[in-house]
Chains A and B, each alone.
Chain A
Amino acid sequence: MSINLQKLRQDFLILHREIHPGFPLVYLDSAATTQKPDSVLRAMDSYYQQSNANIHRGVHTLAEEATALYEQARAKVAKFINSSRPDQIIFTRNTTESINLIANTWARVNIKQGDLIVLTEMEHHSNLVPWQMLAAVTGAELEFIPVTSDGLLDLESYRVLLDRSPRLVAFTAVSNVLGTINPVGEIVEMAHAAGAITLVDAAQAVPHMPVDVQNWNADFLAFSAHKMLGPTGIGVLYGKRELLEIMPPYLGGGDMIKTVHLRNFLPNDLPHKFEAGTPAIAEAIGFKAAIDYLESVGMENIAAHEREICKYALETIAEIPGLKIIGPAANYRGGVIAFTMDGIHPHDVAQIVDEFGVAVRAGHHCAQPLHEKFGLPATTRASFYIYTTREDIDMLKRSLLRVVKIFT
């Protein structure tokens, strides 16, 4: 079944906004954050209008309703990624916070001086800097699975690193720059065989393809709602129950405790142990509406649509003089295309295409080491989602031809 794009795009008011006279928005920055359908906004609005209350403690009607809605969102997320239980879903602010939570709890207990953490050269700063910070405190060592010139992980080098018995392998499922879809199940299996725990940065994966945490067998997995039609301010840490149970709490405060005395406390049960303070309740409810929306379209359909759009975009922009695409061939790639243009800085590219209503991103996309690896200070990135049309790609091409014209 293919997606009825014309009908679907009616749900996103912003896609019909004119950015400049005669030029409606062509939104090609969904890897940064996606647009939100009307149903997500309505769900959050309705919560504030009808059910707003703090959760878990109150016994009045609104508190019961708000608690039920919040916990339904958790159950929805659990089912969406096939977590065997809802209490393995911790709500955080975003992917970054989820990873920092692991670095400050599990890792603080389990990683000692000289222990090895394996990352990859294609990590977003959010799955790099927390480990650098941890290494600075604990004296742990960091090693990196190299990226090949065609933008894939070098699994032979990974095998060699595993001989050194790392404690943790933390890696991205899909690169936010190269678009590379990594073989997550295989990387996890190899890590487990070497005795390592695994953390998957799934920020660019869960929004774009069916994800089954039991199939991947990842120990920890992190993603954000705002990259999958949901609101900002809420993200997910999935963790295997046996690991979460023995981890120390992260932030201390309300809701994460069972009992508190003047000099000590007893932490709450999962998942509340890791959710101190009033959480993003409206955002959780909006997140549930986003997943409902994605399920109504179907994750297989979404993945197929992005493959088709990405293939079309790769062919279309390859015709532009001086344009070089970074990253792997279409069959290893999600809906992300980063590119350079000879003699033209990405900021100039992004600025000129904006004149056509085209929103792309310019810079290092929070992956500076990857850009250094490829010898590039910056790239321009176009990224696609459920609502991207062939006409969007045609406008991208038209605007890029204008860039070429201005600079020649």
Chain B
Amino acid sequence: MDDLYREIIIDHYKNPSYRGHLDPNDFRYEDDNPLCGDHIEITLRTDGEKIIDGRFDGKGCAISQASADLLIEFIIGKNIEDARKLTKEDILDLLGIELGPVRLKCALLSLKVLKGGLYGLGDTSEIPLD
């Protein structure tokens, strides 16, 4: 299971490229995982069609923070419509690991926050991640 802590994940955790907060921004959304206290905020700038810049901020375990960094890296330059369609599998592909049900929540927190922002929802519990 050391695999879980592959260099890429530790690297994105310790030296994230997209940690921060965009102000002004077009989208801002945050949420947490009450089980472990993980917290993620995502801010995005768009040109109405494409995501032109993004940042995440928050605290939590290596999996949650690294997946947020990888996600922001991935969506910059993508169409908003495409970002809305991202799934659990896309995040696992980015991380390149298999996860059990408990840690899956950590990995998917940033996706949940992203979709919450993009769908303009007040409640993330209903957001489809599959």
Contacts and interface: CB of A to CB of B under 8 A. Distances in A.
Contacts of B10: 406-407
Residue with the highest number of chain B CB atoms closer than 10 Å, among A345, A406, A407: A345
Interface string B1-23: 11011000010001000000000
Is the interface on chain B under 10, 10 to 19, 20 to 34, or 35 or more residues? 10 to 19
Interface stretch (A38-46, A71-79, A285-293, A349-357): A349-357
A309 B87 CA distance: 47
B36 A347 contact: yes
Contacts, number: 42
A364 B5 CA distance: 23
Is the interface on chain A under 10, 10 to 19, 20 to 34, or 35 or more residues? 10 to 19
Contacts of B5: 348, 352, 406
B77 interface: no
A298 interface: no
A251 to B, nearest CB: 30
A362 interface: yes
Interface stretch (B48-56, B59-67, B110-118): B59-67
B112 to A, nearest CB: 17
B84 to A, nearest CB: 29
Contacts of A347: 36, 61, 63, 103, 106
Given A362-B36, A406-B10, A377 B4 contact: no
Nearest to B34: A368
A348 B1 contact: no
B96 interface: no
A378 interface: yes
Interface string B30-53: 000001111000000000000000
B3 to A, nearest CB: 10
Nearest to A403: B5
B104 to A, nearest CB: 12
Contact of A351 (B37, B38, B59, B103): B103
Interface of A: 343-348, 351-352, 354-355, 362-364, 377-378, 406-407
24 contacts: A343-B14, A344-B62, A345-B36, A345-B38, A345-B60, A347-B61, A347-B63, A347-B103, A348-B61, A348-B62, A348-B63, A351-B1, A351-B4, A352-B2, A354-B1, A355-B2, A362-B36, A363-B36, A364-B37, A377-B37, A378-B36, A406-B10, A407-B10, A407-B14
Given A347-B63, A352-B2, A363-B35, 6 more contacts: A344-B62, A345-B61, A347-B61, A348-B61, A351-B103, A362-B36
